[in-house]
A and B are shown apart, each in its own frame.
Chain A
Amino acid sequence: MNQGLILKVGLFSFNIQSSIRSLSHNVATLYQDYPDELSEDRTRFIDFHICVEPPNLWHKYYKGQVQFFSDGFAPFTPLPYQHAPAMIEWGMNWCVAQQMNTHLIIHAAVIEKNGFAAIMPAPPGSGKSTLTASLVQEGWRLLSDELTLIRIDNYHVSPFPRPISLKNKSISVIKQRYPGVVFGIESTDTSKGTVVHIRPPKLSIELQGVECLIAWVIFPKYEEGAETELTAKSKAQSLMDVADNSFNYSRLGALGFDVLKNVIEYADCYQFRYSQLDEAIDAFAALELPE
């Protein structure tokens, strides 16, 4: 019997099972550089046991739908077969964001350069993923595209590098700029439009055990035709806005506030508007290192 593939992603191990061809093909493409030794050793503790399968024969043959299961529990409603590759990515995020409280978890991209991290909390549509996908091709290390995990004991970011999700127009933008980037299978007509994931740079995965402090908190906003503009943002407002983008800020209670306060006190906070990726990359390269 197929026991599933066990991957080590950042701090966590995932046992992934699925009989869906497109999904296993996609996982093989996107996750080829991740450590998978645990697949050979079935005696170890695994953090998350996940699968994507049709929930029953009705959904399989009549509705053509599949569902994400976290060890038998289905947090989402079933979706069409062709969304399976995207669904497993959303499911893996769900596992960590909903179940782990050893970190303050922010819905934000996080990248590193010279030993310091920049986090980019932003709602969907702000161009966060396009910017991240470009920056990690320009010398930044990918720590995560979706979930920033901040340790509650020392405020370091624990990397959780995953395939970066691109949507709609940004797919062709990245394809043209970086022809070497490996794309997974497109999921069309999802609630977010067309979604595709790209393979993270190998170095980001090799360094997935290396944590770092946050030097910059940057709220990006893509606006067509806008001048590139990096402006300081007040710490109080930044704290509130990061908290708004957190999955477990209120679950952590006073501790959540404490962690965030320390992060914001140390980091420089900015609002960032851009329309040209080249200028955005330059602006990030010019960020000042903390003393």
Chain B
Amino acid sequence: MKKEFPLLLQLFSQKKPVEQLTESEWDLVIRQARAGMLLARLYHVLNTKKHLSVVPKLVMRHLESAKVHAEKQQNDLLWEVRHIAKVADKLDFPVLLLKGAAYAIGGYIASEGRIFSDIDLLVPKKNIADAEKQLMLNGWLSSNKDAYDQRYYRQWMHEIPPLVHMFRGSVIDLHHNILPITTSACPNADLFFESAQSMDKYKNIKILSSVDLIIHSAVHLFYDGELDHGCRDLVDLDALMREVLGQKQTNVNPLSTRAEELGLQRAVFYAIRYTSKVLNTPVMFIGGTMNTGRPNKFILCLMDFLFLRALMPDHASCNDLWTSWARWLLYIRSHWLRMPMHLLIPHLLRKSWIRFTGKTAH
């Protein structure tokens, strides 16, 4: 497929020089960035490359406003982490932060200008009840009262239903793995704890190792069907890969090696493929074969067709006739990957029944 990527992504991949943007191109860039939740990220990328001086004044107002918003989010997040750390101190097992929260407290470039939503925690499966209880005693209550949902999450998923803080409203997703246990590729979660990084500032809070952060980001993006933040997540992956793998020019590719240990080659393959295609991430240079985890030709063709659409910013200018189909098919695919048929079909039937009756009740 030989098409131009959206202007915003051309800026991120440095295919389009910033100085060349016309005023109406800036208009489009800002709109795509806003839709992709990447406005503050764009500010940071331009700032790092010392390109802010060429940004027109009118445009700058939007970038600066987004930066303020992102800083506020980051502040709020660190405040919540302090509270979680207090809870963690009372536990006799490790508590790992995942995704955005991990990038932020680990000081990764990917956290600069990132918009955060929920806080993801990982604890050993056998300790999940203890963790939930301690969080509850500190104000985080299960928001979901539906018995079916509770059972669905607790029996089949890799996380329990979201916990919402009764006063501050912050949301915690408490995980014991990074994929549902019903997924065939579900990795051994012990491996994550063994290689987790300790943090100087916190006694009992750790984060995934740098390479595992990349792998988790890849798994999240390529197994999870909710692609509303797809473009943001791809930009995360690009930043993580450049930062973590960029300096190490060894023959051993830590990413492929680790993917094999965890049995997650497929997700890593897609991560490498689409970051390098879309954002020009220099992963070929990093070494390692591009072939571990490579699906057959037909599947690859199909995935290119779907992902190269679904991973674009959610903005009208980035869509073609197939974009919404691509997002829908990937949503179906994620369910297909996450659950075997004999569980999936009753689940989807029940979901659609609830949705149907819920609608008619209004």
Interface residues of A (CB under 8 A from B): 42-47, 49, 71-73, 99-102, 248, 250-253, 255
Question: B58 — which chain A residues lie within 8 A by C-beta?
Answer: 45, 47
Given contact pairs A49-B31, A72-B315, A101 touches B24 in the complex (Cβ within 8 A): no
Return the CB mask of B66-82 against A: 1 if under 8 Å, else 0: 10110110010000000
Interface residues of B in 287-337 (CB under 8 A from A): 314-316
Question: Nearest residue in A to B24 (C-beta to C-beta)?
Answer: A43
Point out the residue from B30, B34, B62, B72 that lies within 8 Å of A250, measured CB to CB: B72
CB of B227 to closest CB in A, whole Å:
16
Contacting pair A102 B27 (CB below 8 A): no
User: Is the C-beta of B61 less than 8 angstroms from some C-beta in chain A?
Assistant: yes
The 3 closest A-B CB pairs, nearest first, are A101-B68, A101-B65, A45-B23
Q: Are the C-beta atoms of B72 and A99 separated by less than 8 Å?
A: no
Give A209 Cβ to nearest chain B Cβ, in Å. 14
The answer, among B22, B24, B62, B316, for a CB contact under 8 Å with A47, is B62
A253 and B71 contact, Cβ closer than 8 Å, known pairs A44-B24, A71-B315? yes
Say whether A251 contacts B72, CB under 8 Å: yes
Instruction: Report the contact-size class of chain B (Cβ under 8 Å from the partner).
Output: 20 to 34
23 pairs from A and B in contact (CB 8 Å cutoff): A43-B23, A43-B24, A44-B24, A44-B27, A45-B23, A45-B24, A45-B59, A47-B58, A71-B31, A71-B315, A72-B35, A72-B315, A99-B34, A100-B61, A100-B62, A101-B68, A102-B61, A102-B64, A250-B72, A251-B68, A251-B72, A253-B71, A255-B68
- A-B contacts counted at CB < 8 A amount to 55
The residue of chain A having its C-beta at the shortest distance from the C-beta of B23 within the complex is: A45
Most buried by B among A43, A47, A100, A101: A101
Given contacts A72-B35, A72-B316, contact A45 B27 (CB under 8 A): yes
B26 at the interface (CB under 8 A from A): yes
User: Are B34 and A71 in contact, CB atoms less than 8 angstroms apart?
Assistant: yes
Complex contact A73–B35 (CB within 8 A): yes
Q: Which residue of B lies closest to A70 (CB)?
A: B34
> Residue on A with the closest CB to B56?
A45
Give the contacting residue for B22; candidates A43, A71, A101, A252; CB below 8 A: A43
Residue-by-residue, is B1-35 near A (CB-CB < 8 Å gives 1, otherwise 0)? 00000000000000000000011101100110011
The distance from the CB of A218 to the nearest CB of chain B, in whole angstroms, is 28
User: How near does chain A come to B77, taking the closest CB pair, in angstroms?
Assistant: 14
User: In the complex, are the beta carbons of B72 and A46 less than 8 A apart?
Assistant: no
Residues in B whose Cβ lies below 8 Å from that of A252? 68, 72
B interface secondary structure, majority: helix
Q: Tell me the bound Cα distance from A253 to B23 in angstroms.
A: 31
Closest A residue to B57 by beta carbon equals A45
SS of A interface (majority): loop
Nearest residue, chain B, Cβ from A15: B27
Cβ–Cβ < 8 Å partners of B61 in chain A: 47, 100, 102
> Of all chain A residues, which has the CB nearest B28?
A45
Provide the residues of chain A in CB contact with B27, threshold 8 Å.
44-46
Most chain B beta carbons < 10 A, residue from A43, A45, A101, A252: A45
Option from A43, A44, A72, A253 in Cβ contact (under 8 Å) with B72: A253
| Nearest B residue (CB) for A98 | B69
Question: Which residues of the partner chain A approach B66 to less than 8 Å between Cβ atoms?
Answer: 101
Additional 4 contacts, C-beta under 8 A, given A46-B27, A255-B68: A44-B27, A73-B35, A100-B62, A251-B68
Q: Which residues of B contact A71 (CB under 8 A)?
A: 31, 34-35, 315-316
In angstroms, how far is the closest chain A Cβ from the Cβ of B315? 6
B69 touches A251 (CB 8 A): yes
Contact partners of A100 in chain B: CB under 8 A: 61-62, 65
Give the docked Cα–Cα distance between A248 and B73 (Å).
Answer: 13
| Chain B nearest CB, measured from A4 CB (Å) | 13
A258 to B58, CA, bound (A): 24
Q: Which residue of B lies closest to A72 (CB)?
A: B316
Q: Is the CB of A44 within 8 A of B65?
A: no
Complex Cα–Cα for A19 and B64 (A):
33
Which B residues, 224 to 262, have Cβ-Cβ distances below 8 Å to chain A?
none
Q: Contact check, A253 vs B65: say whether CB atoms are below 8 A apart.
A: no
Docked complex Cα distance between A102 and B68 (Å): 9
